[in-house]
């Protein structure tokens, strides 16, 4: 009796063993990697590990965000669908303020620049953790942008006159502008998915120091609404 049961068990395992051998021979993935994080990624990048590799967060609940000078993007896998749909949404890295004080981002901010060039800002991620005495700060000043620069809080910030309140100055640091983009990207991704995203991995310029990374991660967690956390990686 025991011999018969052992044979039946062996026969039932043969198809599974063959499938594993075929997958190994043809290098068939056991699941998509976490939005660009390779399998076996450094431990500091990963809070969660599953059968198909390491991930900064549980897949399907998180997204990867790239803050660029020209465009900013959010991307991830939608694990709520059978096809494990991959999505990527991008928008221009622009922020603007309207006459009534409304903050715009993306295409709306870029379009606003045609009628209110002095209240629209782009290309600001290169100024993260920079001062006016740094090479990047000097280069920006030579471009004669329609806004002024300030260093009251340490690193360089951009300031311009309020469009409808005479004598009032509005000031944004690059971190302030970055969180506007992160919040908008999160909103667009959630509208696409029809559910909430709770965590994010944010790709940042390699030159940023700990304080700047911490500031962006912190605002991503609290201001943008990634309540399960955010992590920073070099882009």
Model confidence pLDDT, tens digit, residues 61-84: 778 899 888 999 998 877 655 556
- At 172, is the pLDDT very low, low, confident or very high (cuts 50, 70, 90)? confident
Measured CA to CA, the distance from residue 132 to residue 20 in angstroms comes to 59
Measured CA to CA, the distance from residue 149 to residue 140 in angstroms comes to 9
User: Global pTM?
Assistant: 0.70
Other C-beta atoms lying within 10 Å of the C-beta of residue 19: 11
Does residue 94 or residue 76 have the better pLDDT?
A: 94
Are 177 and 217 in contact, with CB atoms under 8 Å apart?
no
What the chain holds in terms of domains, given with CATH numbers, is 1-30 (no CATH), 32-235 (3.30.420.40)
For the segment 31-56, what is each residue's pLDDT rounded down to a tens digit? Answer: 444 444 455 555 555 555 555 555 55
Identify the DSSP state of 34.
Answer: B
């Amino acid at each position: 009796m025991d011999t018969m049961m052992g044979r039946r068990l062996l026969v039932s395992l043969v198809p599974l063993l063959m499938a594993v051998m075929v997958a190994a021979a043809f290098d068939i993935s056991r699941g998509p990697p976490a939005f660009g994080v390779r399998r076996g990624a450094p431990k500091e990048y990963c809070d969660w590990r599953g059968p198909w590799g390491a991930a900064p967060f549980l897949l399907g609940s998180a997204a990867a965000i790239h803050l660029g000078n020209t465009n900013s993007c959010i991307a991830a896998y939608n694990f709520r669908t059978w096809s494990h749909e991959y999505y990527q949404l991008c928008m221009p890295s622009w922020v603007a303020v309207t006459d009534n004080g409304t903050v715009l981002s993306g295409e709306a901010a870029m379009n606003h620049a045609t009628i209110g060039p002095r209240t629209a800002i782009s290309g600001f991620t290169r100024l993260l953790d920079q001062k006016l005495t740094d090479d990047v700060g000097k280069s920006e000043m030579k471009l004669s942008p329609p806004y002024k620069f300030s260093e009251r809080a340490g690193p360089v910030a951009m300031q311009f006159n309020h469009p409808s309140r005479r004598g009032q100055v509005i000031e944004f640091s690059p971190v302030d502008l970055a969180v506007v983009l992160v919040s908008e990207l999160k909103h667009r991704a959630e509208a696409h998915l029809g559910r909430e995203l709770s965590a994010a991995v944010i790709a940042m310029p390699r030159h940023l120091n700990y304080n700047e990374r911490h500031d962006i991660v912190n605002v991503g967690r609290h201001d943008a609404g990634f309540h399960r956390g955010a992590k920073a990686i070099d882009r």
